[in-house]
DNA sequence: AGTCGTCAAGAGCGGTGCTCTCGTTTATTC
DNA sequence: GAATAAACGAGAGCACCGCTCTTGACGACT
């Protein structure tokens, strides 16, 4: 019967989820390198080999955690964007920035897993990219919206990209329709700048300098907004 | 005799260096997580416990590698800067950017060790910070030089930083004397942007987008230069 | 010449990922 | 309802890891 089959599959799904949850908790406290299948099994009251019925290897468990992580930060960014007035493009950009940073500070090990050094010997499968770009999609939509509303003023201290970059720009443009080549690369610069900042802060590169980090971060992201041509509030000029 | 004592200490120093070299080679092929004292010992024809005569723990070996790494990239950046005309501030900035990126591409695992996720359970000792800022020192000097030469035009689409950031700016200013608060944060933004870009490229975040990476990188770093007020060559305007 | 510190070697501890086998339970098929 | 097949937990075992402790040999200094 389907009912009984789903009974078995239901407990399987539940156990799979429980393993992932415990693994995520371990990840949060120990980091990616400290993720131990045996420890997970111990906490579940199972024997270590039984875990392999649910995840064929440690890397597969890692992949599951990575996908979950991308979805978590992606959803977080989506919510932050949705909570901001749709016409306030600068506000949406700042909301996204803070969402990324806040999530990273709240889940440092997961952030490190997603945006830090790749786990040695681990090759992220293609399944991850779909989840991986959820936040980037939001970012692109903000820019497209701003562009459509004519709010992307291009006074442009930014230099024009060389023509040889047109192909690359076209590819990225699928995430931000309507944006010019110049705008695309300003966007890439701002996006990498955002994650560069967060990584620096999280990975201890700002060692003892920079106390007032949230304010400094927001200011720098305003800088990046200015570079992209997203309007600056008059008060800050 | 001092001669015989130094003989002993010389072979000790040699062995220490050989251990570090082998470890670095392993690091380059396996990554930080794959660094194994036993494997190093095996390759040296030693027994694993003998390694502990030279490095009290795996973390201490890691620390040595980290310091070496910071010095390597720092020296690389210093050389790139020194090889550029001292008055060509934009050129020096670009040279530094490419030096960082080229070194990172040539030594991905070492870069990951320095600027990627911190090794779990590993706390970088204070000895590292001195070596860690060698590249940043070069960066600060370029900005100071440009400022002194009056080449830091402040047309400034960049917003002014809030006064509450004055203390933080003052701290960072020790690396770039003479730079204004606004300039300091533009610099931080550009610096984190540089490493954000390199990390994105190296850690696989630019998955299948962006083929023409060197050109795109240089263009983005030109963007950052513009943001800092470092002159843009007329040709690119 | 005798003492003392340094060294390589080995055994061993508790941990890891992963594989294989062995009964048992569950679900499907006849 | 019985037989077959699949899924499952438990356990032993392999090769590896970082690290500790002990032992015996060698070299340096008094």
ipTM: 0.92
B90 Cα to chain A: minimum distance (Å) = 13
Instruction: Determine the 3-state secondary structure of A30 from DSSP.
Output: helix
Residue A214 is encoded by which pair of tokens? 């949230």
With a threshold of 0.90, does the pTM exceed it?
yes
Q: What are phi and psi of A149, to 5 degrees?
A: -80, 0
Round the average pLDDT of chain A to a whole number and report it: 90
Nearest to A159 among B158, B172, B232 (CB): B232
Closest partner residue to B112 among A109, A117, A237, by Cβ? A117
Percent helix, strand and coil across chain B, each to the nearest 5: 70, 0, 30
Go through the domains of chain B in sequence order and give each one's CATH number.
1-56 (1.10.10), 65-236 (1.10.357.10)
Q: Is the pLDDT of residue B234 over 70?
A: no
Question: How many beta-carbon pairs below 8 A join chains A and B?
Answer: 200
Per-residue pLDDT, A232:
57
Interface check A107 vs B, CB under 8 A? no
- Portion of chain B with pLDDT greater than 70, in percent: 92
Distance B38 CA to D16 C1' (A): 9
Half-sphere exposure of A112 (CA within 13 A, CB side): 27
Q: Which residues get their CB within 7 angstroms of nucleic chain C?
A: A 1, 4-5, 7-8, 35-39, 48-49, 52, 56-59; B 8, 12, 15, 45-50, 53-54
Q: Hey, is the C-beta of A219 within 8 angstroms of any chain B C-beta? A: yes
Token output for B103? 């070194």
In the 151-190 stretch of chain A, whose C-beta falls under 7 Å of nucleic acid strand D?
none
Largest CA-CA distance found in chain B, in angstroms, rounded: 70
- Residues present in chain A in total: 237
Nearest residue of chain A to residue B232 (CA atoms):
A159
pLDDT at position A4, please?
42
As given in the structure block, the two tokens for residue B97 are 């950017």
Query: Taking CB atoms and an 8 Å cutoff, what residues of chain A touch B152?
Result: none
The candidate with the shortest Cα–Cα distance to A115, out of B80, B148, B116, B12, is B116
Average pLDDT rounded to a whole number, residues B28-50? 91
Report the pLDDT value the prediction gives residue B237, as an integer from 0 to 100.
39
The answer to whether A216 faces chain B, any CB pair under 8 Å, is yes
Which chain A residue has its CA at the smallest distance from B153's CA? Answer: A157
Confirm if A34 and A112 have CB atoms less than 8 A apart.
no
Q: Which residue has the higher pLDDT, B54 or B159?
A: B54
H or E segment to which residue A73 belongs: helix A58-82
pLDDT tens-digit map of A125-179 = 788 889 999 999 999 999 999 999 988 876 566 789 999 999 999 999 999 999 9
Among A125, A135, A159, which residue's Cα sits nearest to residue A56? A125
Question: Residue B158: its pLDDT value, please?
Answer: 73
């Amino acid at each position: 019967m389907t009912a009984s089959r789903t009974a078995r599959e239901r407990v399987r799904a539940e156990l799979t989820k429980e393993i992932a949850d415990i693994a995520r908790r371990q990840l949060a406290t120990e980091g990616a390198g400290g993720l131990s299948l045996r420890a997970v099994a111990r906490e579940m009251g199972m024997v270590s080999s039984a875990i392999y019925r649910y995840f064929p290897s440690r890397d597969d468990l890692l992949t599951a955690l990575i996908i979950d992580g991308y979805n978590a930060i992606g959803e977080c960014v989506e919510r932050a964007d949705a909570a901001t007035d749709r016409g306030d493009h600068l506000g949406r950009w700042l909301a996204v920035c803070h969402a990324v940073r806040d999530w990273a500070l709240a889940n440092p090990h997961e952030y490190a897993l997603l945006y830090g050094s790749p786990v040695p010997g681990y090759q992220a499968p293609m399944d991850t990219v779909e989840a991986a770009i959820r936040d980037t999609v939001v970012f692109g939509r903000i820019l497209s919206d701003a562009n459509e509303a004519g709010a992307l003023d291009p006074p442009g201290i930014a230099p024009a990209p060389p023509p040889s970059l047109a192909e690359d720009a076209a590819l990225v443009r699928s995430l931000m329709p309507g944006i010019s080549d110049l705008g695309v690369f300003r966007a890439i610069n701002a996006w990498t700048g955002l994650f560069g900042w967060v990584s620096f802060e999280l990975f201890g590169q700002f060692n003892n300098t920079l106390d007032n980090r949230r304010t400094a971060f927001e200011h720098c992201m305003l800088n990046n907004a200015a570079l992209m041509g997203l309007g600056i509030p008059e008060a800050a000029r």
